[in-house]
Amino acid sequence: MKKVLITGGAGFIGSTVASALLDRGITPVVLDDLSKGRAEFVEDRIFYRGDVADAALLDRIFAEHPDIEAAVHCAAKIVVPESVAKPLYYYRENVAKTIDLLDSLQRLGCTRVVFSSSASIYAPTPDARVDESSPVDANSPYARTKQMMEQVLQDWTRGEGAERQRVITLRYFNPIGADPRLRTGLQDLNPSHALGKLIEAHSTGAPFTVTGVDWATRDGSGIRDYVHVQDLAEAHVAALLRFDEVVAPDAADRYRVINVGTGDGTTVRELVTAFEQAVGAELDVREAGPRPGDVIGCYAAVDTARELLGWQPRRGIAEGVADALAWRAKWAARLGV
């Protein structure tokens, strides 16, 4: 594989995927509108600034890079509380524009698509463990956009005129850390997810709030599967390199879902403890009710990724915390804050 289009390739996950591809000798072609992504993350990379729904721009990209062999679709709005407040915005950005993108990819003959989905679409299970066959029941507008797009993509591979279209959907769990070489990382110094809030609390002395303490877990806090973003990126590389094995061109079913997590559940309280051990200091920890759209959470069964992709996670929470802290220090110095 020579070149791969990455939408959202100037963001946290997309830029790490781009770096992982470069490390394997594959050239990423990045499309990003920079609404959240950073221009610094695409320095010395092939980059087009624009919207995934811009058909003319897609025509230009493929005309200038006819050797693109697949597309990785990472571009999306991802903040759960914002999606609750602005549902139409999320449906437009994540669903309607993706449909326009798929229309362009089909017209341009790009038959392999890797889609960034989310474990947030899973329905709660008694033991919080989920595999690809577990029921889905998205609980926020953000999560519902991912669930909707999964259905759109599956239907797309079966529709008239789409006989050659194939899709691998990767259901992400909870990415942490940064590119271990610190080429890119979280572009927001104060992100809304748990590890970001822990780093903010440690850096500023502000309290850290556990949102939701009455969930049916071993300590009452939500449970998550914290996967290092570099492991997640390497799962994308594996999906691209094994694409034709996972979804053959003549397969009866040309749509495949694969979980990408660690296979272990970590509660928010356990994450706090791990973070405190990593930094050698205690935080001011407080409790509050769940935020709008919050769910109990889940963790992944990763047998499918191991069997189909030959992939398994290699980095733990301690390494994720260390890389996240190192990145934040570097990024804050670069931004001068």
Percent of all residues in the chain with a pLDDT value above 90, rounded to a whole number? 85
Helices (H), the chain: 12-23, 55-64, 80-85, 87-90, 97-107, 141-156, 194-204, 229-241, 243-246, 268-279, 303-304, 317-335
User: Distances from the Cα of 48 to the Cαs of 11, 55, 110, in angstroms?
Assistant: 14, 13, 18
User: Which of 234, 149, 229 shows the shortest CA–CA distance to 191?
Assistant: 229
Q: What is the pLDDT of residues 140-188, one digit of tens each?
A: 999 999 999 999 999 999 987 767 899 999 999 999 999 999 999 999 8
- The pLDDT of residue 292 is 84
- The pLDDT of residue 286 is 95
- The pLDDT of residue 196 is 86
Q: What angle do CA 128, 178, 130 make, to 5 degrees?
A: 15
Contact residues for 254 (Cβ-Cβ < 8 A; gap 6+): 157, 158, 165, 166, 167, 247
- The pLDDT of residue 308 is 98
Rounded distance between C-alpha atoms, residue 257 and residue 133, angstroms: 9
Catalytic residue among 48, 90, 91, 142: 142
User: Which of 19, 13, 17 shows the shortest CA–CA distance to 37?
Assistant: 13
Residue 305 near residue 314, CB atoms below 8 Å = no
> Is 48 designated active site?
no
Residue 1 clears pLDDT 90, i.e. is over it: no
Rounded distance between C-alpha atoms, residue 94 and residue 304, angstroms: 26
Pairing assessment for the beta strands 266-267 and 223-224 based on DSSP bridges:
antiparallel
What average pLDDT does the segment 296-301 reach?
92
Amino acid identity of residue 179, one-letter, is: D
- The pLDDT of residue 160 is 76
* Residue 48 dihedral angles phi and psi, to the nearest 5°: -125, 125
Contact residues for 183 (Cβ-Cβ < 8 A; gap 6+): 15, 19, 41
* The token pair that represents 24 in the structure block: 């394997």
- The pLDDT of residue 162 is 66
What average pLDDT does the segment 188-206 reach?
86
pLDDT mean across residues, the chain: 94
Percent of all residues in the chain with a pLDDT value above 70, rounded to a whole number? 99
User: Which of 320, 303, 296 shows the shortest CA–CA distance to 260?
Assistant: 303
* The token pair that represents 45 in the structure block: 């990379």
Least confident of 47-61, 183-197, 248-262, 271-285: 183-197
